[in-house]
Structure 1
Amino acid sequence: MATAKQFVLKDFPLQCGVVLPEAKLVYQVYGELNDQRTNAVLYPTSYGAQHTDVDWLVRPDGILDPSRWCVVMVNMFGNGLSTSPSNDPAVARPGVYFTQYDNVRAQVALINVLGIEQLALVYGWSMGAQQGYHWAALYRDRVQRLAALCGTAKTTDHNKLFLYSLRAALTADPTWTGDRFEGTPDRGFHTFAQIYASWAASQAYYRAKPYLAWGYDSLEDYILRGWEAGYRQRDPHNLLAMIDTWLRCDVGDNPVYQGDYAKAMGSITAKTLVMPATTDLYFTPEDCEAEAALIPNAQYRPISSIWGHRAGNPYQNPEDEAFIKGAIADLLGE
């Protein structure tokens, strides 16, 4: 099994105006580049996830097969492995935040060092899809294909309300001082997990109660052990940092497109697969379909699933995994 590596960028300017003396990206490579260096796949991480949480689909005969593809999984800023409030005092200050523009510029530097000129595919779920859209708009000549699963290139107002509620849940905890947490925000984590779980899957999912087959004995047990326990493994300052990145996601908000979101979307030349879940409450199929219509070479291919947002990361869900695997194979021309 490959081990994670660290890539360091010196004097890295963030979009918020702060220059970091060192910005660190933790990444892992699965598989090997072929002699022509034409089989590289970039897979950025999603909200709250580290690469070991979402690399289950990189396996022989999986959605991304490392015997055929060289998969570079990059941990985004703020996730606790790459530069984050929990590991760098320079970013644990008010007014310092990361954007997806920051993430992608850092990833470009990494890809350059790895000797990769073109990416056969950028594969992203949720916040990973946000990064994928930025890649395809900002580095058009370097991205051949984009698979955007359950994510949008610009955060909608409805989605922002969800994020505001998460931030409010954490910062309402008595350990929050106004700038940071002084202790473990037990109440905050509990409320945060309840909000997250309520949006992450559909009403039909909760009617079906699939979690009872996984060893949970009630809805409350599922939320406690299946959701809250996972988020408690993350530093709450990092959870806030990733919320701030998500809130600011806009593929047009950068020096290249200067606020012109439609121009950014229309500039994407990669063969693009826009794949929401039909019951996603964060990134609705209507929002994703509207974005697909702005991209010249996009296919809109929704996942028909009761799993909501979680359909895009179906590690407990063989049916949706098979659908995604087939769609990615089609995209890659396999």
Structure 2
Amino acid sequence: MDYEIYDLGDVTLQSGVTLPDAFLAYKTYGTLNEKKDNVIVYPTAFGDQHVQNEWLIGHGMALDPHKYFIIVPNLLGNGLSSSPSNTPPPFDRAHFPQVTIYDNVTLQHRLVTEKFGIQRIALVVGWSMGGIQAFQWGASYPDMVERIAPFAGLAKTWPHTNVVLDGMKAALLAAVHFDSSKLHQLTSADMRAVGRVYAGWGVSQAFYREGLYREMGFESLADFMTGVWEDSFMKMDPHNVLAMLWTGQHADISATPSYNGDFDKALRSIQALACIMPGSTDLFCSADDNEYEAKLMPNAVLHPIESIWGHFAGRGINSADNQFIDDNLKRLLALSTNG
């Protein structure tokens, strides 16, 4: 096991449901300094675990463990933190309670403050659903978070993004003929169709047209469809995926007691220096949506990743995109804050 567990005890979620013996799985990189001000929080995205974040951490990079103490908390529902697949009855599998982005960030805040005694965070960074957690940190704890850098991630699930996630969910529910009483029958093999649905959204039209999957070692489009989309989704537990899809579909930084659904107010409240990096060809976390969000934030700049890798411009696969993200993070971390 290359990660640690933080036991949260019985947690009352935003829904009002109490999840007994909840826990966060997390991994740290680097050393917390004496002043406890060299902290970077880097939450995981939908379906990812901490290892999928490690491409952005390294000596000489912006997220340098020789310089910073980097905490990677795993998303609830991802199979490592409390999830349908690892929670005993009565909250196992299809009975797992609904978890929000707000729940995730509130529990991450407990980890950061209770476990490590941290009061200032230099940066919260994340890709995709990790990006929305970065926005949520900024909105929930404006006095604590100095900088945020969401890439290919939105501050809420806009209607079109919701439709994309709904298509993935429908592909899974079709396996049990949309009968919610049969959800326990779902298996990882049923995830194959979900991967196929996501294949049309993860990368851009130009990516397919130019056959960039060959750069990833796939001879043909058929090999790519099987080797990336089917295989990666079939490694996921279907109940975990349904839980994370629910979290994703209901994501909104203003769906909290503080903002009561006032999205613009939530954006305006983010005091952190923000570098927002949408993928220029991202088909479902669109640069347009990020542009709306950035305009309302007092200290935000928008730096699109000019790339035909779509949503996967933030996935750590294409070296030019990786370099762009790392360079922007270095610039952001070099900016002084009044903290």
TM exceeding 0.5: yes
Match of 2:144 in 1: 142
Asked if 2 retains the 8 angstrom alpha-carbon contact of 1:40 and 1:70, the reply is yes
Structure 1 residue 215: Cα displacement: 2.7
Q: Deviations over 1:237-289 (max 9, x none)?
A: 00111010000011111111111111111101000111101000111111100
Structure 1 residue 62: Cα displacement: 3.0
Structure 1 residue 189: Cα displacement: 2.1
Match of 1:47 in 2: 46
Structure 1 residue 181: Cα displacement: 3.5
**Mapped partners of 1:327, 1:41: distance in 2:** 15
Asked if 1 retains the 8 angstrom alpha-carbon contact of 2:204 and 2:308, the reply is yes
For residues 157-306 of structure 1, what are the structure 2 equivalents within 5 Å? 157-174=159-176, 178-179=180-181, 180-184=183-187, 186=189, 188-306=190-308
* TM-score with structure 2 setting the length: 0.94
Match of 2:324 in 1: 323
Match of 2:120 in 1: 118
Asked if 2 retains the 8 angstrom alpha-carbon contact of 1:45 and 1:124, the reply is yes
**Mapped partners of 1:14, 1:264: distance in 2:** 20
Q: Deviations over 1:214-256 (max 9, x none)?
A: 3322111111111211111110100111010000011111111
Structure 1 residue 318: Cα displacement: 0.9
Asked if 1 retains the 8 angstrom alpha-carbon contact of 2:29 and 2:70, the reply is yes
**Mapped partners of 2:222, 2:171: distance in 1:** 18
CA RMSD of the aligned region, Å? 1.6
Q: Deviations over 1:171-225 (max 9, x none)?
A: 1014875242425253x32221111111010001111112223332211111111
**Mapped partners of 2:218, 2:184: distance in 1:** 31
**Mapped partners of 2:277, 2:238: distance in 1:** 30
Q: Deviations over 1:119-172 (max 9, x none)?
A: 100011100111111110111111000001111111111111101100000110
**Mapped partners of 2:96, 2:85: distance in 1:** 16
**Mapped partners of 2:217, 2:54: distance in 1:** 23
* TM-score with structure 1 setting the length: 0.95
52-61 vs 201-210, which moves further: 52-61
Stretches of structure 2 lacking an aligned partner (at least 5 in a row): none
2:296 is paired with a residue whose SS is coil
Asked if 2 retains the 8 angstrom alpha-carbon contact of 1:175 and 1:182, the reply is no
Asked if 1 retains the 8 angstrom alpha-carbon contact of 2:32 and 2:68, the reply is yes
**Mapped partners of 2:298, 2:24: distance in 1:** 32
**Mapped partners of 2:133, 2:140: distance in 1:** 10
Structure 1 residue 3: Cα displacement: 3.2
1:84 is paired with a residue whose SS is coil
